[in-house]
Amino acid sequence: SGLIAIVGRPNVGKSALFNRIAGRRIAIVHDMPGVTRDRVSAEVEWGGHAFTLVDTGGIGLLRREKAADVITKAALEQVDLAIEAAHVIILAANVQEGIVPLDQEVADKLRRSGKPVLVAANKVDTQKVEAAALEFTELGFDKVFPVSAIHGEGIVDLMNAATALLPPREILEKAEVDEDVFEGTPEVEGKTKSELKGPLKLAIVGRPNVGKSSIINALTQSERVIVSPIPGTTRDAVDVPFEVEADGIRQSYLLIDTAGLRKSRRVDDSVEFYSVKRTEDSIARADICVLVLDAEAGITEQDKKVADKIVEERRACIVVVNKWDLVEESVRESREQEIERRDAKTRDRDERKVRRLTTLGEFGQWVQEHLFFLDYAPVIFTSAKSGFHLDRLLEAVRYVADQLQQKVPTSILNRALNDAVENRQPISAAGHRLKFFYATQVRQAPPTFLLFVNRDELFSDPYRKYLAGELRKAFGYEGCPIILVPKPRP
C-alpha cells in the first residue's frame, strides 16, 4: 500500500501525531527491563485510502544518545529513510518553538528529494500560535497545516491533503512484493497477510490455582471491558468475545476456552479442569497467550512446561505474576509511592521510565532468570483479588496486539537489516562471508521475515538471535517472537 512517513526533529510531537492519525494511544510502562518503545508503523485507513504510516523517528537505527550531533545525525538519517521509502512525507514542527536550524536542515534535504511534503505545524493551542504557524511557510513548502496532535485539531485537513497525494492504487499494487517469494518455504507457505482479520484470540493459561479464573472474572467485570454475549449461546460459551474500550476506541478480542476455566463447587475442580491437552490446544489456537504465575509459589516445572509450549508454538506472550498482594505488600507499596512521589517532580518521560525499570525490574529478576527462554514477553505483576494492575494487563494486551499487527515496510526493514549485517558479519570456518540480499516480512502474527542470503548455513542460532535483537531495537515487537527464515540464493 501507500506509505506516509512522519519526520522531524525530536520533541516536536511526532509520536503524538502518529498516534492521533493511527487512532490509538499506546503508552505503557513495563515492569521489566528491556526494549520498550512505541510503534513505528501502522496500517491506517483514512477516507477510503489505505496506507502505512511510519514514524521514522521511532526507528532505532542509531543508538539514542543525548549529544547534539547525534540528534542531528539521527534526524537527518531518518529523513533519508523517509525519502527512500515514503510516497508522502509529513514534516512535523513545533509552533511554540518556531523554526530552529535543524528544522531548516531537514527541510532542505526534503526539498531536494522532490517528494511531496506537508508541514504539520504542531502544538497549535491558541489563536495566537495559529498565526505563528504561517511562519513555517519559510521552510519552503506551500502546504502548512496548523495542527494539535494532542487535541486533534487540524488533523482532518492534513490527512485529506496527504492521502490525496498518494499514488493511485493501480500503481501501488504493481509495486507490491510478489507473494511467491515464500513458495517452497514450509514455515510460511500458505499463510497470507489477511490472517489477522477478525478479533485477536487471547488464551489465559497456567497451572491450577494461579488465579486464571479470578483474573477473567475481574477483567470481565471491569468498566473498560465489554463482554458481548454471542446470540444463541449460553454463558458457558467456550470462546467469549470481549472488547476493551480506551481513548474512545474499541479493540475486539476473543477469549479462548473460558469453559475450561470456569469453576463449579467441587473442591478438586481446578485440578480436574487442568488438562495439559486442553492448555496446549488453547495455546495453539491463540494469537496472544497470557501465562499466569503464582507470585507466592514461584515458578514450578509445570509453569515451565506451559511456557515451553508457548515458545514452541511461537505465540505472542505476556507473563502475569498474580497474587502479588501476598508478596512483600508493604515493601512494594512504599516503593511505588516513592516512585510516584519522585515522578511528580520529573517531567522527563525517559527518566520516569528508567526509574520504574530499575525498581520494579528487581522484582522481575527471578522471572527473567527462570523463564529466560521466554525473554520476549513483558511481565506484569497483578492481584486479581485487589484488582492491582489489572488495567496494566489490559494495556499490555493492547500493546502486544498492536506490536503483533505491525507490518514493517520492506524498504525500512531492509535498511535496518543491512545495518545489522554490516555491523556484525558471520564468517564460516571456510572463510565464507554472509551476504545479505533482501528481506521481506511475510507474516504478521508472529512476525516472520524471509531473508535472502548467499549461504544459509552461516545463519547460526546465535546470529539469528543477534538479528532478531536488532529488529527488536528497530521496531519493538515486544511480546512477540520474531521468526527469521533464511533462504539461500546463489
Question: From the annotation, which residues make up the binding site?
Answer: 8-15, 55-59, 122-125, 206-213, 257-261, 322-325
Q: Residue 303 Cβ, how far from ligand GDP at the closest point, in Å?
A: 12
Query: Distance of CA 154 to CAs 25, 121, 124, 208, Å?
Result: 18, 10, 9, 52
Between 322 and 406, CB nearer to ligand GDP: 322
Between 272 and 351, CB nearer to ligand GDP: 272
Q: Roughly how many angstroms between the first and final C-alpha of the chain, as a whole number?
A: 30
Containing 413, the helix (H) or strand (E) segment is helix 410-423
How far apart CA 403 and CA 398 sit, in angstroms, is 9
Q: Residue 32 Cβ, how far from ligand GDP at the closest point, in Å?
A: 19
Between 149 and 295, CB nearer to ligand GDP: 295
The size of the chain, in residues, is: 490
Placement of cell 501502522 in the chain: 42
Sort strands 200-205 and 41-46 into parallel, antiparallel or unpaired: unpaired
Q: Residue 211 Cβ, how far from ligand GDP at the closest point, in Å?
A: 3
How far apart CA 69 and CA 74 sit, in angstroms, is 8
Q: What is the dihedral of CA 29, 34, 37, 39, to 10 degrees?
A: -110
Between 263 and 465, CB nearer to ligand GDP: 263
Placement of cell 454463558 in the chain: 235
Sites of contact with ligand GDP (CB under 6 A): 206, 208-214, 261, 263, 270, 322-323, 325-326, 383-385
Report the residue number whose CB is nearest to ligand GDP. Answer: 211
Name the binding residues for GTP: 8-15, 55-59, 122-125, 206-213, 257-261, 322-325
Between 212 and 415, CB nearer to ligand GDP: 212
Between 303 and 402, CB nearer to ligand GDP: 303
Integer-rounded Cα radius of gyration of the chain: 24
Between 106 and 216, CB nearer to ligand GDP: 216
Containing 330, the helix (H) or strand (E) segment is helix 329-343
How far apart CA 144 and CA 408 sit, in angstroms, is 28
Q: Which residues contact 258 (CB under 8 A, 6 or more apart)?
A: 216, 236, 237, 238, 239, 240
Closest CA to 218 of 381, 388, 332: 388
Placement of cell 510516584 in the chain: 340
Q: Residue 214 Cβ, how far from ligand GDP at the closest point, in Å?
A: 3
Q: Residue 460 Cβ, how far from ligand GDP at the closest point, in Å?
A: 39
